[in-house]
Structure 1
Amino acid sequence: MRSGRLRLLGAAAAIGLIAAPFATALAQTPMDDPLDARDAKRLDRMENVVRELRDIVFKGQKTGVPVVVEPADTDSRLADVATKVGDLEQSLTKLNGSLETTSHDLDQAKRENTALRAQVKALSDRLAADEQKMDDAVKAAASAAVVPAGPPEPPPPPDPKAAAASANDAFGKARQKMLSGDYDAAETAFSDYVTTYPDTPKTPEARYWWGKTLAVRGDYVKAASAFIGSIRGWPQTAWAPDAVVELGRALVQLKKPADACGTLSELKRRYPKAPPAVEARAATVRLQAKCT
């Protein structure tokens, strides 16, 4: 409390020191010499300051709270405001530069797009002109062509004997390639035979040997198809029982054991006199398929 009173007394003394010069100045100023407008405003501001100091001191006397007069920070705040304004101006300058660059790029892109459209149109016109020239040339050639007097004569019918001889020759060459161990060439030859001669007496056997070459190469999908075509109708030939066994083996390789067992079950019924070697191979395939 004592410290507060001392501070209040000090503040009162400060007010007295501040007010004394104003009183002296007023006493020395002649009354008939009026102040100009600027001096009057300064005097008013000083009087306002004195009144505020007195209010502060009297308030401190009543409450006993120490009076603390903080220095004004107007200059620092103005400096901060000036700095922020400067930063804002720099940001606006950069933004304007970016907008100008974007506008320039956009204008350049528009010009390039216009030029590209012109090039595309020119190419389209050239293409249309070339197509028209081609159409005109085709029409001119068609009109200049000689129209035959009548329909062309049909080709003479093929000679059955010549066709059979050609088929037998093709089959013999394909068989010889297989016997010599050239399975790639044999596969191509038998495939060509089946395509060229689909209905000859040798076609089922050609399918059988074709399936053999495919099985050697590991193409069990095509091999199974070839073997099925060869035994269609269950032909009574020397190679037919082996074709049934080969079909069962291909089905085992294709992970179809049930189909393999069903195929092998027809072997004894369709070919009860199959050679022992064929029966032995069929037994091996049954084991592989786990037939019951």
Structure 2
Amino acid sequence: AAPAAAAPAAASSAAEQEEYDAAFNLLKDGYRERAIKSFREFIARHPDSPLAGNAQYWIGEANYVMRNFRQAIEEFSKVGKDYPASQKAPDALLKIGYSHYELGAWVKARAALNQVIARHPGTTAAKSAEARLAKMKKEGR
């Protein structure tokens, strides 16, 4: 499924939005490596943009989709560290949990998923974390 475009958290310049959209379209069209490069360039040029947290999230997501789970964890972690107020922070933490799950790191997966629920109660990410924890319990993990 193609990723859904996220609305910016605050006003960004038309040029920033255009640059972000170009990178996002690369990702949507399946050009993951090119999208990663474009999102990295966007963050380097616009580190304080309201879209920077989203850009960092999509770098993690591209790695996740390519099954580069260790790199995905590193990239998703930057969302929470560098952009804690980002609307993508709950999803980034969720994907850290999913990535640990894919690597078979059950304790780390469980810890990340429980953090999603504790830090972002009632969100879609929290509901997804609860579902994954239930799946893990059913699997005996």
Q: Which residue of 2 aligns with 1:6?
A: none
Q: How is 1:246-285 mapped onto 2 (pairs within 5 angstroms)? A: 246-275=95-124, 279-280=127-128, 282-284=130-132
Q: Note if contact 1:245-1:282 (Cα within 8 Å) is conserved in structure 2.
A: no
Q: Which residue of 2 aligns with 1:172?
A: 21
1:235 equivalent to 2:115? Answer: no
Q: Is the radius of gyration larger for structure 1 or structure 2?
A: 1
Q: Note if contact 1:207-1:227 (Cα within 8 Å) is conserved in structure 2.
A: yes
Counterpart Cα distance in 2 of 1:244 and 1:227: 7
- By how many angstroms is 1:247 displaced? 0.9
Identity of aligned residues (%): 21
Query: 1:210-251, CA deviations, whole angstroms, 9 ceiling, x for partnerless residues?
Result: 1111111111122111111112364362x3322221110112
Amino acid at match of 2:119: R
- By how many angstroms is 1:170 displaced? 1.5
Q: How is 1:83-98 mapped onto 2 (pairs within 5 angstroms)? A: none
Distance 1:287 1:272, change over 3 A: same
Counterpart Cα distance in 2 of 1:173 and 1:278: 30
Distance 1:172 1:287, change over 3 A: same
1:188 equivalent to 2:46? Answer: no
Counterpart Cα distance in 1 of 2:37 and 2:86: 26
Distance 1:223 1:200, change over 3 A: same
Q: CA RMSD in A?
A: 2.9
- By how many angstroms is 1:265 displaced? 1.0
User: Tell me, what secondary structure is at the counterpart of 1:231?
Assistant: helix
**Structure of higher RCO (CA pairs closer than 8 Å, 6+ residues apart):** 2
Runs of 4+ in 1 over 6 A off after TM superposition: 289-292
- TM-score w.r.t. the length of structure 2 is 0.72
By percentage of residues, which structure has more helix?
Answer: 1
- TM-score w.r.t. the length of structure 1 is 0.38
Counterpart Cα distance in 2 of 1:218 and 1:180: 17
